[in-house]
Amino acid sequence: MKNSCFLLLLLAYSILKSQTKTETIHHDTFPDFRNGLSYINGESCDGRFVHGTGQMLYYKYCFRETNQPCLEYFRINDTVFYCYRYAADSSYKEYGKYAVTNNIAFRDTQLTQDINAGTLDTIIIHRNEILKTGNWIEYVKSAKYGEYWEGQYMIGKRVGIWKHILYHWNDRFELELINYDVDSTKVVYEKNVAFALPTDSLKRILYGRWKFFCTEKPYTTIYFGKCGVYDGHYGDDCNDKYSKGNYFEFAPFKIFNRSPSPGCNKYKAKLLQGDWEIEIKDNYAFIVIKFKDSKEVWKFKITYLDREGNLVAEKQQ
């Protein structure tokens, strides 16, 4: 019995002795496509590679526990990939190019056992960091809302002039811009005068009729276009004779009129006349409308205003 136990211990010692633990460092040039984002799956949803080479042509990550794409990468060359990042509503969140660097983003450790050779190996996989490069578009919320920043990256940092844009149909309104080569904290208003003019000057620009368009529900953002005047009269789209279009009229002496049309947010048709004023709060200009035959007050925060007859305002609750 003692001899049998001794033989078993000797056999176990021989097996452990033969399985020499070695460490193999495998420097993988595969980019870190997760890029530090914690809300996506660790496993990819899809990928296409060149057979026999491992060269990646396309790579995709999904939101956690879904098949909805979060990130997509398309190969331009060995070191540059074009990326689309998606928001939860499936529209674009941002898109542009990533460059693969020699920096190590993180390391994965894997254990492998070779039964025939009797070895236990530790494989360390290095993932290369990717950084934004070239032109990028980054939406404030998502492409559904049409508000974004556009500019250039160099080695993962913003450079040059970045523009804050509001997009509606075929119109692009430049809300503000920042020159990162000069001062990354200074906001410049080249076209948007809503933040650059005193109250009296804003009023003078607002005088007249403004035809407006509602966005999708809940109609919080409203786009206005100033009505043209021809021989002292407004055009057909801004009068009540031929059209029941939506318009506001900001007249001198605080007089306000609006078209007898439904408007946005199921506005009451009886609210047609009143007073209007400009209020400044927290560096924003607000149009405040008080109606004659009602206690109801409408308030709009001016997001964009230019001298070419464009106005964008946010309806306040």
Write the pLDDT tens digit of every residue in 35-82: 655 555 545 677 776 655 567 788 888 887 778 888 899 999 988 999
20 backbone dihedrals φ, ψ, rounded to 5°: -70, 125
Per-range mean pLDDT, top range of 163-167, 210-214, 268-272, 292-296: 163-167
Q: Which of 106, 45, 41, 102 minimizes the C-alpha distance to 73?
A: 45
Lowest mean pLDDT among 19-23, 114-118, 150-154: 19-23
Q: How many CB atoms lie within 10 A of CB 175?
A: 19
Pairing of strands 255-258, 273-281: antiparallel
The Cα–Cα gap between 59 and 65 comes to 18
The pLDDT of residue 128 is 82
Q: CA dihedral in degrees (160, 166, 172, 175; nearest 10)? A: -60
Alpha helices in the chain (DSSP H): 2-18, 199-206
Q: How many CB atoms lie within 10 A of CB 176?
A: 19
The Cα–Cα gap between 165 and 269 comes to 33
| DSSP code, position 144 | G
Helices and strands in the chain: count of H runs, count of E runs: 2, 20
Burial of 294 from C-beta contacts in 10 A (0-12 / 13-18 / 19+): exposed
Q: Please say if the pLDDT value at position 178 is more than 60.
A: yes
Lowest mean pLDDT among 196-205, 208-217, 274-283: 208-217
Lowest mean pLDDT among 14-28, 161-175, 274-288: 14-28
Distant-in-sequence, close-in-space partners of 218: CB < 8 Å, separation ≥ 6: 265
DSSP, residue by residue, 18-45 = HSEEEEEEE----B-TTTT-TTB-SS-S
Q: How confident is the model at residue 146 (pLDDT cuts 50, 70, 90)?
A: confident
Strands annotated E in the chain: 20-26, 46-49, 56-62, 69-75, 80-86, 92-114, 119-139, 147-154, 157-168, 171-179, 208-214, 221-226, 229-230, 233-234, 247-250, 255-258, 273-281, 284-291, 297-305, 310-315
Per the rule left: phi > 0, alpha: psi between -120 and 50, beta: everything else, 79 is: alpha
Kindly report, residue by residue over 186-211, the tens digit of the pLDDT.
999 999 999 989 999 999 999 999 99
The pLDDT of residue 210 is 93
Q: How confident is the model at residue 165 (pLDDT cuts 50, 70, 90)?
A: very high
Q: Is the dihedral of CA 156, 174, 145, 289 positive or negative?
A: positive
Residue bearing the bigger pLDDT, 184 or 214 = 184
Q: Please say if the pLDDT value at position 26 is more than 90.
A: no
CB 18 within 8 A of CB 117: no
Q: Please say if the pLDDT value at position 148 is more than 80.
A: yes
Which whole number is the average pLDDT over 282-297? 90
Q: CA dihedral in degrees (237, 241, 247, 249; nearest 10)? A: 120
The pLDDT of residue 235 is 77
User: Can you give the pTM of this predicted structure?
Assistant: 0.78
| DSSP code, position 228 | P
Look up residue 43 and give its two tokens.
Answer: 């496993």
Which whole number is the average pLDDT over 240-256? 81
